Amino acid sequence: MSVSSLKVIYYAFFHLVMSYGIIFWGNSSHSSIIFKTQKKAIRIMEGCGNRVSCRNLFKKLQILPVTSQYTLSLLMFVVQNKNLFLTNNENHNLDTRQRNNLYLPQANLTIYQNGAYYLGIDIFNNLLLQIKNVAGNPKKI
């Protein structure tokens, strides 16, 4: 089969199942099993052996690994649900350098810090300002 046909099959069967609810399970310890399965599928698509590195194969096929897909899904969750989040400027009236960042609530529990809400804010705040501005305007995307 051609590579383009194999990519269609990959997206139809594997990627669809993998990306379902990824913001909830993408940070779990079981995601490494999904990553290994994804690498196996990529190697089969390219006809490579088990010991071939998949880094260049992911780039060649333009497919995101599970961890990158998780990060993208968290960022899309934050951008699409901007109304659920406060900015630092809305939380306090101080004119600080971080006033346009999203407010990251204080959390002592690791289970909360590993959740979609907290990690989404944390990852979004680490983006460059130019990317944050584009993310705020859907017409520029």
Residue 126's Cβ-side half-sphere holds a number of Cα atoms within 13 Å equal to 9
Residue 46 CB burial class (10 angstroms; 0-12, 13-18, ≥19): middle
pLDDT of residue 140: 58
Identify whether the C-beta of residue 101 lies closer than 8 Å to the C-beta of residue 87: yes
Residue 59 lies in a domain: yes
Residue 73 lies in a domain: no
For 53, the domain range is 3-67
- 59/115 same-domain check: no
- 91/61 same-domain check: no
Residue 75 lies in a domain: no
Give residue-wise pLDDT tens across range 79-102.
888 888 888 777 777 777 777 788
- 114/86 same-domain check: yes
Residue 20's Cβ-side half-sphere holds a number of Cα atoms within 13 Å equal to 6
Instruction: Give the number of domains in the chain.
Output: 2
- 95/126 same-domain check: yes
Q: Phi, psi at residue 64, to the nearest 5°? A: -80, 135
Residue 141 lies in a domain: no
Residue 40 lies in a domain: yes
Higher-confidence position of 86 and 45: 45
Nearest to 63 by CA among 119, 9, 111: 9
Residue 76 lies in a domain: no
- 90/60 same-domain check: no
User: What percent of the chain has pLDDT above 70?
Assistant: 96
Q: Which of 8-17, 104-113, 121-130 has the lowest mean pLDDT?
A: 104-113
Q: Where are the beta strands (DSSP E) in the chain?
A: none
Task: Quote the pTM value.
Answer: 0.83
Nearest to 26 by CA among 64, 60, 61, 62: 64
What sign results for the dihedral spanned by CA atoms 40, 46, 51, 55?
negative
The DSSP 8-state label assigned to residue 42 in this structure reads H
Residue 60 lies in a domain: yes
Q: State the amino acid at position 58 in one-letter form.
A: F
d(CA 6, CA 75): 28
